[in-house]
Amino acid sequence: MAEINSSVKTIAITGTSGFIGKHLVAELLRLGNFRIKLLSRNRNRDFNDLIGSGVQIEITEGDLLEPTSLHGFLEQGCTVVNLVYLRDAGEADNITAVTNLLEACKSANVRRLVHCSTAEVVGRVNDNLVTESTLCRPITQYGMTKIKIENAILAAAKAHFDIVLLRPTAVFGPGGMNLEKLTNDLITKNWLKNYIKSCLFDRRRMNLVSIANVVAAIIFLINRTEIFNGEIFIVSDDNNPANNFADVERILMKALNCPDYFLPRIPVPQSVLRLLLRLLGRNNINPGCNYSQAKLENLGFNAPVKFEAGLLEYANWYRSKLFVGQRGDTN
């Protein structure tokens, strides 16, 4: 691969009010060696805690659906990180948003666009190991829209600026939605419901990935000097054998002081689970499916957080949130 100038450390980020965005900004600020530019539809609402705090950060009030509002947000040689997905909008608006961003990137002559997609674009596959070369067959609207966004970026960016796509699996961590339902169910101690679910899912792969590892992967790709020219990288924690329902449940139950079931678990055959997942219209119906991040590791990436440590951090955050809520109820 050829190399591009790595001296510029200006990072322009879209979608920073979301889960991944907040963690990414916090880590970039902790590292302290980047000039950060953020796009926000409401700078006072989304970044009130940063305004006037003296940190090296610039906030542009704008909307990807309004291209004129992007003037001044991007600049020559900067690296752009796109985290935007308009969940309340349709496919057309999401494509429009990314098209407007791409045009702004071309006009500003940016260095690189790091686009955070999702492993869900892969859809339904029979393979037990998914790689970047696996043929994508998404069946959900979310997955289909995401793959169209990827294709639009790859088509438009060619010969204009460098592009790299990151596909995280199910991202979990403090403030995230993944694991929230499972944790809530365990806390409510509805043992029969939880017991049936535990027997049903058993060793089904969870395909979780710590938010810290996703953020680290984004920063890793920001800092690389070679030209990626549209390469795709998966980031996951699937290389850890504990990334399955039974072990995740066990770790969370212990961390949250939830008693184990007094009946032994009776695992449901995976063929039954596969059929049920299909009937429910799930994107991934293969209980043994794993997503490989070997390509990213071969480039030199080392995940900073071990899987179990990430689960414990999440459980501790959840307990502290629960404690604050309970304390507030008594006042």
**DSSP track, 176-238:** -STTHHHHHHHHHT-HHHHHHHHHHHTT-B--EEEHHHHHHHHHHHHH--B--SSEEEEE--T
Query: pLDDT grade, residue 328 (50/70/90)?
Result: low
Read off the tokens for 153. 């970026």
208: Cβ contacts below 8 Å, ≥ 6 apart: 169, 170, 171, 172, 178, 179, 237, 243, 248, 307
pLDDT of residue 265: 93
281 or 296, higher pLDDT: 296
pLDDT of residue 46: 54
Q: For the residues 146-172, what does the mean pLDDT come to?
A: 93
Tell me if 177 sits within 8 A of 19, measured CB to CB. Answer: yes
pLDDT of residue 54: 47
145: Cβ contacts below 8 Å, ≥ 6 apart: 91, 94, 95
Whether 172 has a pLDDT exceeding 80, the answer reads yes
pLDDT of residue 42: 76
The pLDDT tens digits for 180-201 are 999 999 998 788 999 999 999 9
pLDDT of residue 159: 80
Of all residues in the chain, the percent with pLDDT exceeding 90 is 72
Query: pLDDT grade, residue 51 (50/70/90)?
Result: very low
Taking residue 48's Cβ as centre, other Cβ atoms within 10 Å add up to 11
Whether 4 has a pLDDT exceeding 70, the answer reads no
Read off the tokens for 66. 């309004």
pLDDT of residue 180: 94
Q: For the residues 108-128, what does the mean pLDDT come to?
A: 94
First to last CA, the chain: 61
Q: For the residues 21-28, what does the mean pLDDT come to?
A: 94
Read off the tokens for 67. 């291209």
Domains, the chain, ordered by start? 10-174+208-237+290-305 (3.40.50.720), 180-204+241-288+315-324 (no CATH)
Whether 130 has a pLDDT exceeding 90, the answer reads yes
Q: Lowest-pLDDT range, 3-12, 58-67, 82-91, 182-191?
A: 3-12
Q: CA 208 → CA 18, 234, 238, distances in Å?
A: 18, 12, 7
The pLDDT mean for the chain works out to 89
Long-range own/partner contacts, residues 51-56 (CB < 8 A, 24 or more apart): 55/29, 56/32
323 or 298, higher pLDDT: 298
Query: pLDDT grade, residue 41 (50/70/90)?
Result: confident
Tell me which H or E stretch contains 20: helix 19-31
pTM: 0.92
pLDDT of residue 21: 95
pLDDT of residue 8: 41
Query: pLDDT grade, residue 278 (50/70/90)?
Result: confident
For 75-110, give the DSSP string: -TT-EEEE----TTS-HHHHHHHHHHHHHHHHHHT-
